Amino acid sequence: MTEAIEIFECGPRDGLQNEKRQIPTAEKIALVDCLSRAGFRRIECASFVSPKWVPQMADSADVLAGITRGEGISYAALTPNMRGYEGAIAAKADEISIFGSASEGFSKANINATIEESLERFKPIMEAARHVDLPVRGYVSCVTDCPYDGKVDPGEVARVAEALFAMGCYEISLGDTIGQATPDSIAKMLLAVRDVVPVHRLAGHYHDTSGRAIDNIDASISLGVKVFDAAVGGLGGCPYAPGAAGNVATERVMEHCERIGIDTGLDANIVQEAAVMARKMRES
């Protein structure tokens, strides 16, 4: 039997949020519609954050209203607070994501809250989502290295991941936000997190800033992780992590998996078509 993984496509959200050119809504819709034909089960394409802080995502409701929704595909939105949650509900997002950090410095820079304060903020979102049976995914940033605090303790990653899972997040995405992780640091982190969250509920979100994302994915697969976030065309980064541009490219992950006999369930031709569209967005 061929081994399989799932690629969670985050290019239309995490990939585009940091682009300097204000990308027209129609271009975003066209990208999501192309991705919808490629075989993805989940596509993150919206973020209901303050347009003051992330102006690129100000049209998220219009994007969700304009896309052609594919059967069996979940279209996800990031929601940092109750206002964002309400926006996602109104726009008919199929699932939402909340995002915390394993490092105090990054938490304060990214969402202006300590780790404990951020976890408290998530509780009303989780309670509201539970009442309408809306799936919630949890993100943990800076799982090995932080631009402010340096090396991150795997035990702290496990603590935050366990808290999000206990709240009701169906999956925890573990982010190498500044792309400085190594297979060794990823393995140490995953071994700690696996003790408190089932490995089949974990995902890897690895930036390719230092060119090690594929190696880190391989290390994660060897420890049982089967879901990986990626951005078509290698778009993205984080505005609160200087120099961290470069989500691992979906097409690179797909091609690598094919070479080593792991199935992604994706149509390579359509993924490449979407990658060309994504790169043009950056180059325009």
Summarize pLDDT for 31-77 with one digit per residue, the tens.
999 999 999 999 999 999 988 888 999 999 999 999 999 999 999 99
| Other residues' Cβ atoms within 10 Å of the Cβ of residue 280 | 12
Number of domains into which the chain is organized: 1
- What is the per-residue DSSP string for 130-188? HHTT--EEEEEE-SSEETTTEE--HHHHHHHHHHHHHHT-SEEEEEETTS---HHHHHH
Q: Which of 16-20, 85-89, 166-170, 234-238 has the lowest mean pLDDT?
A: 234-238
Distance of CA 268 to the CA centre of its chain: 21
How many Å apart are CA 137 and CA 230, to the nearest integer?
A: 15
Of 172, 170, 47, which is closest to residue 102 (Cα–Cα)? 172
Report the CATH number at residue 100. Answer: 3.20.20.70
Looking at the predicted structure, is the pLDDT value of residue 241 above 70? no
Q: What residue numbers bound the domain in which 9 lies?
A: 3-283
Among 40-49, 131-140, 141-150, 227-236, the least confident range:
227-236
The CB density around residue 198, as the number of other CB atoms within 10 Å, is 11
Residue 244 predicted with pLDDT over 70: no
Q: Which band of pLDDT confidence, cut at 50, 70 and 90, is reported for residue 239?
A: very low
**For 74-118, what is each residue's pLDDT tens digit?**
999 999 999 999 999 999 999 999 999 999 999 988 788 999 999
**Catalytically active residues, by annotation:** 238
- What does pTM read for this prediction? 0.95
Residue 246: what pLDDT?
75
User: What local confidence, expressed as pLDDT, does residue 245 receive?
Assistant: 56
pLDDT at 8: 98
Secondary-structure percent of the chain, ordered helix, strand, coil, rounded to 5 = 45, 20, 35
